[in-house]
Structure formats: structure tokens, C-alpha cells
Amino acid sequence: MAKRILIANTHCLKNRTNGSIAFPVVENLRQVCKDYFDRMYTCESQKYDMEYEVRKREFEVTSIAKACIDFRKPVDGLGIQKCK
């Protein structure tokens, strides 16, 4: 923890009178946090869209596979195949 405080103190401009972080540094940190949040939000949205497409395609493949299995089954034991 002390190492993190030391790193923060060396990288942040400190106001020497009261020890608080200078205003431009706070605004810069807010902007960096906002940028990271926006990027994370975009990535999560893209991930959701991709997962939806994967589920949709898995359903399509499953339904086509079932249709193929049904098409291969003989009807009445005569070897006649059903048509869809």
C-alpha cells in the first residue's frame, strides 16, 4: 500500500499548501476514467452482440441437423423418405 501511495505522490502534482491533488490532475483522471468506461461499455456491447449471433447460429445449425435426421428416417419401414 505504501508503494502505491509513493507512486501516486510522484506522478500527481500536489498542492504544497494543503496537500490535496491539484485540480488539473483530478480533471485529467476523471477524463481517463471516463474514456476507460466508454471503451469498456463499447466492448461489452460488442460482446453481447457477438454472443447473440453465436446463439442464433447454433439454433439454426441444430434445427437444420434435426431436419436432416428427420429426412433420413424411413417411413412405414418401406425405405421411403419423408420430404419437407
CA distances to 42, 43, 62 from 5, in Å: 31, 31, 56
Q: What's the full length of the chain, in residues?
A: 84
CA distance linking residue 20 with residue 17, whole number of Å? 8
In tens, the pLDDT along 43-64 reads 999 999 999 999 999 999 999 9
For position 67, what pLDDT does the model report?
83
Could you state, in order of their start, the residue ranges of all structural domains in the chain?
Answer: 23-81
Start-to-end CA distance of the chain, whole Å, equals: 69
Q: How confident is the model at residue 5 (pLDDT cuts 50, 70, 90)?
A: low
